[in-house]
Protein backbone atom coordinates (compact mmCIF):
# COMPACT_ATOMS: atom_id res chain seq x y z
CA UNK A 1 0.00 0.00 0.00
CA UNK A 2 2.67 2.44 1.11
CA UNK A 3 4.71 1.40 -1.85
CA UNK A 4 1.97 2.09 -4.34
CA UNK A 5 1.27 5.50 -2.81
CA UNK A 6 4.95 6.32 -3.12
CA UNK A 7 5.02 5.15 -6.73
CA UNK A 8 1.97 7.22 -7.60
CA UNK A 9 3.49 10.29 -5.97
CA UNK A 10 6.73 9.74 -7.86
CA UNK A 11 4.84 9.43 -11.14
CA UNK A 12 2.81 12.59 -10.53
CA UNK A 13 5.98 14.49 -9.69
CA UNK A 14 7.54 13.29 -12.92
CA UNK A 15 4.43 14.51 -14.80
CA UNK A 16 4.64 17.91 -13.16
CA UNK A 17 8.37 18.24 -13.79
CA UNK A 18 7.87 17.28 -17.43
CA UNK A 19 5.16 19.90 -17.75
CA UNK A 20 7.29 22.62 -16.19
CA UNK A 21 10.36 21.98 -18.32
CA UNK A 22 8.24 21.79 -21.50
CA UNK A 23 6.52 25.03 -20.42
CA UNK A 24 9.91 26.71 -20.42
CA UNK A 25 10.61 25.40 -23.93
CA UNK A 26 7.19 25.93 -25.54
CA UNK A 27 5.74 28.71 -23.41
CA UNK A 28 8.77 30.95 -22.88
CA UNK A 29 11.65 30.24 -25.26
CA UNK A 30 9.51 29.50 -28.32
CA UNK A 31 7.33 32.65 -28.21
CA UNK A 32 10.34 34.83 -27.35
CA UNK A 33 12.40 33.48 -30.24
CA UNK A 34 9.51 33.98 -32.67
CA UNK A 35 8.89 37.48 -31.30
CA UNK A 36 12.58 38.34 -31.61
CA UNK A 37 12.76 37.23 -35.24
CA UNK A 38 9.41 38.85 -36.03
CA UNK A 39 10.31 42.22 -34.49
CA UNK A 40 13.71 42.23 -36.19
CA UNK A 41 12.61 41.11 -39.64
CA UNK A 42 8.97 42.20 -39.95
CA UNK A 43 8.31 45.00 -37.44
CA UNK A 44 5.49 46.47 -39.52
CA UNK A 45 3.30 43.38 -39.67
CA UNK A 46 4.32 42.07 -36.25
CA UNK A 47 2.94 45.24 -34.68
CA UNK A 48 -0.41 45.26 -36.44
CA UNK A 49 0.13 46.68 -39.95
CA UNK A 50 -0.61 50.26 -38.88
CA UNK A 51 -1.49 52.62 -41.70
CA UNK A 52 -0.27 56.23 -41.51
CA UNK A 53 -1.55 59.23 -43.41
CA UNK A 54 0.26 62.58 -43.15
CA UNK A 55 2.27 61.33 -40.22
CA UNK A 56 -0.71 60.12 -38.20
CA UNK A 57 -1.81 56.56 -37.56
CA UNK A 58 -5.29 56.13 -39.01
CA UNK A 59 -5.83 52.49 -38.08
CA UNK A 60 -4.63 49.01 -38.94
CA UNK A 61 -4.99 48.17 -42.61
CA UNK A 62 -6.09 44.69 -41.49
CA UNK A 63 -9.00 45.82 -39.31
CA UNK A 64 -12.26 47.35 -40.47
CA UNK A 65 -13.65 50.62 -39.07
CA UNK A 66 -16.93 52.50 -39.10
CA UNK A 67 -17.47 55.76 -40.97
CA UNK A 68 -20.37 57.49 -39.21
CA UNK A 69 -21.64 60.94 -38.40
CA UNK A 70 -23.15 60.74 -34.94
CA UNK A 71 -26.11 58.65 -33.85
CA UNK A 72 -29.87 58.83 -34.34
CA UNK A 73 -32.46 58.99 -31.57
CA UNK A 74 -32.41 55.23 -31.03
CA UNK A 75 -28.66 55.32 -30.61
CA UNK A 76 -27.97 53.69 -33.98
CA UNK A 77 -25.00 55.16 -35.83
CA UNK A 78 -25.76 57.13 -39.01
CA UNK A 79 -23.43 56.20 -41.89
CA UNK A 80 -21.45 59.16 -43.24
CA UNK A 81 -21.90 58.82 -46.99
CA UNK A 82 -18.87 60.98 -47.75
CA UNK A 83 -16.91 57.82 -47.19
CA UNK A 84 -17.05 54.30 -48.54
CA UNK A 85 -19.00 52.09 -46.17
CA UNK A 86 -17.77 48.71 -44.87
CA UNK A 87 -19.81 45.53 -44.53
CA UNK A 88 -22.79 45.93 -42.22
CA UNK A 89 -22.48 45.47 -38.52
CA UNK A 90 -25.85 46.76 -37.38
CA UNK A 91 -27.26 43.37 -38.24
CA UNK A 92 -24.76 41.59 -36.06
CA UNK A 93 -26.37 39.32 -33.51
CA UNK A 94 -26.40 40.53 -29.96
CA UNK A 95 -25.46 37.04 -28.75
CA UNK A 96 -27.96 38.00 -26.10
CA UNK A 97 -26.35 36.73 -22.97
CA UNK A 98 -22.73 37.39 -23.80
CA UNK A 99 -21.39 40.36 -21.91
CA UNK A 100 -20.47 42.55 -23.61
CA UNK A 101 -22.47 41.54 -26.68
CA UNK A 102 -20.44 40.10 -29.52
CA UNK A 103 -19.16 42.84 -31.80
CA UNK A 104 -21.91 45.39 -32.07
CA UNK A 105 -20.02 47.97 -34.11
CA UNK A 106 -16.52 47.18 -35.33
CA UNK A 107 -15.29 47.19 -31.76
CA UNK A 108 -11.69 45.95 -31.94
CA UNK A 109 -11.94 44.16 -28.63
CA UNK A 110 -15.05 42.12 -29.38
CA UNK A 111 -14.50 40.09 -32.52
CA UNK A 112 -17.15 37.58 -33.58
CA UNK A 113 -20.01 36.71 -35.89
CA UNK A 114 -23.79 36.83 -35.79
CA UNK A 115 -24.01 33.01 -35.68
CA UNK A 116 -27.56 33.12 -37.03
CA UNK A 117 -28.61 30.11 -39.09
CA UNK A 118 -29.13 30.21 -42.85
CA UNK A 119 -32.91 30.01 -42.46
CA UNK A 120 -33.27 32.21 -39.37
CA UNK A 121 -36.09 34.73 -39.85
CA UNK A 122 -34.22 37.46 -37.94
CA UNK A 123 -31.27 37.06 -40.26
CA UNK A 124 -33.62 37.08 -43.25
CA UNK A 125 -35.12 40.36 -42.06
CA UNK A 126 -31.76 42.02 -41.51
CA UNK A 127 -30.56 40.90 -44.94
CA UNK A 128 -33.71 42.27 -46.59
CA UNK A 129 -33.50 45.56 -44.66
CA UNK A 130 -29.85 45.98 -45.55
CA UNK A 131 -30.54 45.24 -49.18
CA UNK A 132 -33.28 47.85 -49.32
CA UNK A 133 -31.09 50.43 -47.59
CA UNK A 134 -28.17 49.87 -49.96
CA UNK A 135 -30.43 49.96 -53.04
CA UNK A 136 -32.17 53.23 -52.04
CA UNK A 137 -29.07 54.94 -50.72
CA UNK A 138 -26.95 54.25 -53.75
CA UNK A 139 -29.75 54.30 -56.33
CA UNK A 140 -29.25 50.82 -57.77
CA UNK A 141 -31.73 47.96 -58.27
CA UNK A 142 -31.73 45.38 -55.46
CA UNK A 143 -30.50 42.76 -57.92
CA UNK A 144 -27.20 44.64 -58.15
CA UNK A 145 -26.50 44.60 -54.41
CA UNK A 146 -23.74 42.07 -53.73
CA UNK A 147 -23.94 39.57 -50.86
CA UNK A 148 -21.11 41.08 -48.82
CA UNK A 149 -23.06 44.35 -48.59
CA UNK A 150 -25.92 42.69 -46.69
CA UNK A 151 -24.20 40.07 -44.55
CA UNK A 152 -21.87 40.44 -41.58
CA UNK A 153 -18.44 38.85 -41.63
CA UNK A 154 -16.90 36.14 -39.45
CA UNK A 155 -14.65 38.42 -37.42
CA UNK A 156 -16.99 41.40 -37.46
CA UNK A 157 -13.83 43.33 -38.36
CA UNK A 158 -13.64 42.55 -42.09
CA UNK A 159 -11.37 45.23 -43.57
CA UNK A 160 -12.55 44.56 -47.14
CA UNK A 161 -15.57 44.83 -49.36
CA UNK A 162 -16.10 43.31 -52.79
CA UNK A 163 -15.22 45.46 -55.83
CA UNK A 164 -18.93 45.30 -56.76
CA UNK A 165 -19.97 46.89 -53.48
CA UNK A 166 -17.33 49.60 -53.86
CA UNK A 167 -18.47 50.24 -57.43
CA UNK A 168 -22.12 50.90 -56.54
CA UNK A 169 -21.01 53.40 -53.88
CA UNK A 170 -18.97 55.47 -56.36
CA UNK A 171 -21.63 57.90 -57.63
CA UNK A 172 -22.98 58.76 -54.22
CA UNK A 173 -19.54 59.21 -52.67
CA UNK A 174 -18.48 61.41 -55.60
CA UNK A 175 -21.61 63.54 -55.26
CA UNK A 176 -21.23 64.00 -51.51
CA UNK A 177 -17.64 65.14 -51.96
CA UNK A 178 -18.25 67.23 -55.12
CA UNK A 179 -15.80 65.13 -57.06
CA UNK A 180 -16.11 63.92 -60.64
CA UNK A 181 -17.40 60.32 -60.60
CA UNK A 182 -14.69 59.08 -62.96
CA UNK A 183 -11.97 60.17 -60.53
CA UNK A 184 -13.58 58.25 -57.68
CA UNK A 185 -14.11 55.28 -59.95
CA UNK A 186 -10.41 55.37 -60.85
CA UNK A 187 -9.61 55.40 -57.14
CA UNK A 188 -11.67 52.23 -56.64
CA UNK A 189 -9.91 50.59 -59.58
CA UNK A 190 -6.50 51.50 -58.15
CA UNK A 191 -7.42 49.98 -54.80
CA UNK A 192 -9.00 46.79 -56.10
CA UNK A 193 -6.81 43.80 -55.25
CA UNK A 194 -7.22 40.71 -57.41
CA UNK A 195 -6.90 37.17 -56.15
CA UNK A 196 -3.47 36.42 -54.68
CA UNK A 197 -1.33 34.68 -57.32
CA UNK A 198 -4.42 34.86 -59.51
CA UNK A 199 -6.45 32.17 -57.72
CA UNK A 200 -6.39 32.54 -53.94
CA UNK A 201 -9.35 34.11 -52.14
CA UNK A 202 -11.70 36.66 -53.70
CA UNK A 203 -11.08 40.09 -55.26
CA UNK A 204 -11.46 42.86 -52.68
CA UNK A 205 -11.11 46.52 -51.84
CA UNK A 206 -9.57 47.61 -48.53
CA UNK A 207 -12.03 50.22 -47.23
CA UNK A 208 -9.59 52.10 -44.97
CA UNK A 209 -6.94 52.43 -47.66
CA UNK A 210 -9.58 53.56 -50.14
CA UNK A 211 -10.99 56.17 -47.77
CA UNK A 212 -7.52 57.50 -46.95
CA UNK A 213 -6.84 57.96 -50.65
CA UNK A 214 -10.27 59.54 -51.06
CA UNK A 215 -9.54 62.03 -48.28
CA UNK A 216 -6.29 63.00 -49.99
CA UNK A 217 -8.19 63.54 -53.22
CA UNK A 218 -10.82 65.69 -51.50
CA UNK A 219 -8.14 67.80 -49.83
CA UNK A 220 -6.31 68.30 -53.11
CA UNK A 221 -9.53 69.49 -54.77
CA UNK A 222 -10.51 71.72 -51.88
Partner 1 sequence: MSPVLAGVLQLIALIAALALAYRPLGDYMAAVYSSPKHLRIEKFIYRCIGANADTEMRWPAYLRGILAFSLAGVLFLYVIQRLQGHLPLSLGFASISPDQAFNTAASFVTNTNWQSYSGEQAMGHVVQTGGLAVQNFVSAATGMAVAVALVRGFARSRTGELGNFWADLVRSTIRILVPLAVLAAIVLVACGAIQNFSGIHGVGQFFGGSQQTNGGAVASQEAIKELGTNGGGYFNANSAHPFENPNAFTNLFEIFLILVIPFALTRTFGKLVGNVKQGYAILAAMVTIWLGFTVLMMWSEFAHGGSALQAAGAAMEGKETRFGIGSSAIFSVATTLTSTGAVDSFHSSFTAFGGGIQLLSMMLGEIAPGGVGSGIYGMLVMAVIAVFIAGLMVGRTPEYLGKKISTREIKLAACYILITPALVLLFTAVSMVLPDALGSMLNTKAQGAAPHGFSEILYAYTSGANNNGSAFAGLNANTPWYNITIGLATLLGRFLPMVFVLALAGSLAEQKPIPETAGTLRTEKPLFAGLLVGTILIITGLTYFPALALGPLAEGLS
Stretch 121-160 residues interacting with partner 1 (CB under 8 A): 121-124, 127-128, 131, 145-148, 150-160
208 touches partner 1 by CB under 8 A? yes
Report the distance separating Cα 88 and Cα 72, nearest Å: 17
* Closest to partner 1 by CB, 185 or 213: 213
Give the residue with the Cβ less far from partner 1, 128 or 182.
128
Query: Please, which residue, 180 or 201, has the CB nearer to partner 1?
Result: 201
Q: From the list 6, 108, 189, 190, which residue makes contact with partner 1 (rule: CB under 8 A)? A: 108
Rounded Cα–Cα distance for residues 203 and 219 (Å)? 28
Helices (H) and strands (E) in the chain, counts: 7, 7
User: Cβ distance 102 to 93 under 8 Å?
Assistant: yes
Give yes or no for residue 191 binding partner 1 (CB under 8 A). Answer: no
With both helix axes pointing from N to C terminus, report the angle between 163-176 and 181-191 in degrees, rounded to the nearest 10.
150
Contact in structure between 160 and 205 (CB atoms under 8 Å): yes
Report how far Cα 5 is from the mean position of its chain's Cα atoms.
Answer: 55
Taking only Cα atoms into account, the Rg of the chain, rounded to an integer number of angstroms, comes to: 24
- Which member of 3, 4, 74, 97 binds partner 1 (CB under 8 A)? 97
Could you give the string, one character per residue 46-85, with x where binding to partner 1 holds by CB under 8 A and - elsewhere? xxxxx-----xxxxx-xx-x-x---------------x--
For partner 1, the closer of residues 157 and 184 by Cβ is 157
Amino acid sequence: MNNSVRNTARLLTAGLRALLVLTVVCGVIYPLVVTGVAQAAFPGTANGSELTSHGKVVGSSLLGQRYDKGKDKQGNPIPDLHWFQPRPSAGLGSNRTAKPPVNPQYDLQVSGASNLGAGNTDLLKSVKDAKQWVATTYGVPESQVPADAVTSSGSGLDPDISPEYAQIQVNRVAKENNLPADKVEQLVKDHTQGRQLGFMGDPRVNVLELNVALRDLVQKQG
